[in-house]
Amino acid sequence: MNIRSKIIGTGSYLPSRTVFNKDLEDLLNTTDEWIQQRTGITKRHWASKDETTSDLALRASERALESSSLKKEDIDLLLVATVTPDHEFPGTACFLQGKMGIPGVPAIDVRQQCGGFIFALSIADQYIRTGTYKNILIVCSELHSRCLDLTPRGRNLSVIFGDGAGAVVLQATEVKDRESESHILSTKIHSDGAQAKELWCPGPGLALFGEERMTKEMINDGLQYPQMNGRAIFSHAVRTMSESLIESLTSNGKELKDLELAFFHQANRRISEAIGKNLELDDSLIHSTVEIYGNTTSATIPIGLDDAIRNGKLKQGMLISNVAFGSGFTWGHSLIRY
Ligand code: COA
């Protein structure tokens, strides 16, 4: 039997508060013009004080389940990708599971940053291909707004990120015709830990070698905030996502002309434009949401998929490539006949 995974539902949730670039000007000593020129971002969403990462995940999950027509009890594996967990431990998947009310189902956190969706999809796909699980819920949820340095010291990073969650429901399917039937053709994931500190959040951390994982001095130094070498990230992101897109096609005997829609991790519009230019892709092939949602880390691709489906841009039977790059470094692809 040729068992493969197919996407049977998607959902997303963006918190109701919209934060425009103008709202950040005084706070971060930045300008709307700088942010738009360097990133393409015009606005992003921020969660309210009484929302958590698992709350955003719950809303996206409910919408994905509704669109799949499955009940929550049908789910037999829950994967949650996040870089902004509710707590240090247990994982956010456990907190989401408690809120969903599906005890007994394995709930696993995937800690692969902006690569989180591709890594989670790859894990889920292996479980489905081996016949271990039939219905898998993948949720990517990020609440950056309470994790960023919202002072001028953090402005290079704090203007980029937004809050939001995206979810997909995968189901096992027997594929007879690989050219027409909906399924995931392949996933491929990569990492390079030698670059871990190019984009990272040092604290709280045992490897800071203080008496505790977090001290007042560490807080004063801002070690609880993410830190980034923006230029290094930019060039690696363009190179690895370009290579991953080509890898997604060639490893399946396809060419660029076969591609019908591409979803890049939405880090920065200039990164997507540079990949498009590298590969000579028509703009209409790249689905972009970074302008209105900012960079929601692991959630950018599932939010983009849900957006494209609900807007009628992504239709059944289309060949789509998803590629991501992020902290770790981590990167990879999935090629899908939607
Ligand atoms: N507003 C105004 N000025 C800012 C600023 C902001 N928000 N952030 C940085 N600057 C200033 C810097 O202080 C610096 O000023 P100086 O020249 O007087 O020292 C200047 O802008 C250039 O800073 P630099 O960090 O070199 O800018 P850049 O051209 O590399 O652009 C990024 C910065 C972050 C937009 C860019 O590096 C980038 O997009 N990198 C990839 C980031 C990303 O995608 N991360 C997520 C990956 S998953």
Q: Do domains 3-174 and 183-337 have the same CATH topology?
A: yes
Nearest Cα to Cα of residue 157 among 53, 307, 44, 303: 44
Q: Which CATH number among 3.10.450.50, 3.40.47.10, 3.60.20.40, 3.40.50.300 corresponds to the domain 3-174? A: 3.40.47.10
Of 27, 32, 156, the one to substitute when testing ligand 1's pocket (max ligand atoms within 8 A of C-beta) is 156
What pLDDT is recorded for position 207? 95
CA 262 – ligand 1 centroid, Å = 26
Q: What is the DSSP letter of 258?
A: G
Q: How far from the centroid of its chain's Cα atoms is residue 305's Cα? A: 11
Backbone angles phi, psi at 244, to 5 degrees: -65, -35
What pLDDT is recorded for position 215? 95
Name the residue with the closest Cα to ligand 1, atom 30. Answer: 231
Task: Say whether 21 is catalytic.
Answer: no
What pLDDT is recorded for position 92? 98
Cα angle value 45/200/157 (rounded, 5°): 40
Name the residue with the closest Cα to ligand 1, atom 34. Answer: 230
CA distance 52 to 75: 22
Nearest Cα to Cα of residue 331 among 246, 260, 230: 246
Task: Say whether 94 is catalytic.
Answer: no
Pocket (CB within 6 angstroms of ligand 1):
28, 30, 34, 38-39, 114, 155-156, 159-160, 228, 230-231, 233-234, 237, 267-268, 271, 295, 326
Show Cβ contacts of residue 139 under 8 Å, excluding neighbours closer than 6 positions.
57, 60, 61, 64, 78, 79, 80, 81, 96, 165, 166, 167, 302
What pLDDT is recorded for position 210? 85
Name the residue with the closest Cα to ligand 1, atom 8. Answer: 156
Q: Give residue limits of the domains in the chain.
A: 3-174, 183-337
Q: Which residues pair with 140 in a beta bridge?
A: 81, 166
CATH topology classification for 183-337: Peroxisomal Thiolase; Chain A, domain 1 (3.40.47)
State the DSSP string of 147-206: TS--SGGGHHHHTTB--EEEEEEEEEEE-S-TTTS-EEEEEEEEE-GGGGGGEE---S-G
CA distance 97 to 192: 31
Backbone angles phi, psi at 197, to 5 degrees: -90, 5
What pLDDT is recorded for position 237? 97
Catalytic residue among 21, 135, 268, 295: 295
Q: Are 247 and 333 in contact (CB under 8 A)?
A: yes
Task: Say whether 265 is catalytic.
Answer: yes
Catalytic residue among 45, 144, 236, 265: 265
Show Cβ contacts of residue 325 under 8 Å, excluding neighbours closer than 6 positions.
114, 115, 236, 237, 240, 241, 244, 265, 267, 331
Name the residue with the closest Cα to ligand 1, atom 23. Answer: 156
Q: Is the dihedral of CA 226, 230, 232, 238 positive or negative?
A: positive
Nearest Cα to Cα of residue 139 among 70, 74, 174, 93: 93
CA 214 – ligand 1 centroid, Å = 28
pLDDT means per 10 residues, the chain with 338 residues, are: 95 98 98 98 98 98 98 98 98 98 98 98 98 98 98 97 98 95 98 98 94 94 96 96 98 97 96 96 96 98 98 97 98 98
Name the residue with the closest Cα to ligand 1, atom 9. Answer: 156
Backbone angles phi, psi at 239, to 5 degrees: -65, -50
- Measured from the CA of 233, which atom of ligand 1 is nearest? 41
